[in-house]
Amino acid sequence: MENKTENKILWKDRLRHLGLPLSFTKYYIDDDRLYVQKGFFKTTIDEILLYRIIDVKSTRSLGQKLFGVGTVTLYSADQTDKILELKNVKNAGKVHRFLSDKVEKERVARRIVGREMVGAAGAMMHTDPHDMDLHHIDDDGHCECDHDHYDVSFDDFR
């Protein structure tokens, strides 16, 4: 008999070396979360709620292209994993599209609109357009640097 509280795994893969799944790092996605399981002797599992993912990016180096893998980078509002890389996964482009669609569906299902993500996105995207380094942001959401760049104020979205 199937356990109703356990979500069905929609996608899974491992960190691959030379295109082969020879590692103890596993990635999997169920209905509303992404999990990263690492380790053999000591196993840690980290999870991110899909609706908290702000942006998805995929990259493929020449070596990754030769072995049919790529890296999917997730930018999230999660406190412990603001940037998470799913390294050397098979079909990275398809995984990218799947994650983007799933994240959007989760946001719609939870009725989360852009303004709920502004605090997280504002902190992530508050960057200098010249060197893209993150800057210190004060409690009011303002940058304390002394050069011109795009200033994101949380007051504008309240």
Which of 1-15, 72-86, 108-122, 129-143 is the least confident region? 129-143
CB neighbour class for 4 (10 Å; exposed up to 12, middle 13-18, buried from 19): exposed
Mean predicted confidence (pLDDT) in 30-58: 94
User: In the predicted model, is pLDDT for residue 43 greater than 90?
Assistant: yes
Mean pLDDT value across the chain: 78
User: In the predicted model, is pLDDT for residue 61 greater than 80?
Assistant: yes
Q: Is the pTM value of this prediction over 0.75?
A: no
- pLDDT category at 129 given cuts 50, 70, 90 is very low
**pLDDT, tens digit, for every residue of 133-156?**
344 445 444 455 554 443 433 344
Helix (H, G, I), strand (E, B) or coil at 95: helix
**pLDDT, tens digit, for every residue of 1-19?**
444 457 899 999 999 998 8
User: In the predicted model, is pLDDT for residue 54 greater than 90?
Assistant: yes
Which of 51-55, 87-91, 116-120 is the least confident region? 116-120
pLDDT at 81 (0 to 100): 84
Q: How far apart are CA 20 and CA 85, in angstroms?
A: 18
CB neighbour class for 48 (10 Å; exposed up to 12, middle 13-18, buried from 19): buried
Q: How far apart are CA 28 and CA 117, in angstroms?
A: 24
pLDDT at 15 (0 to 100): 93
pLDDT at 65 (0 to 100): 95
Between 117 and 113, where is the model more confident?
Answer: 113
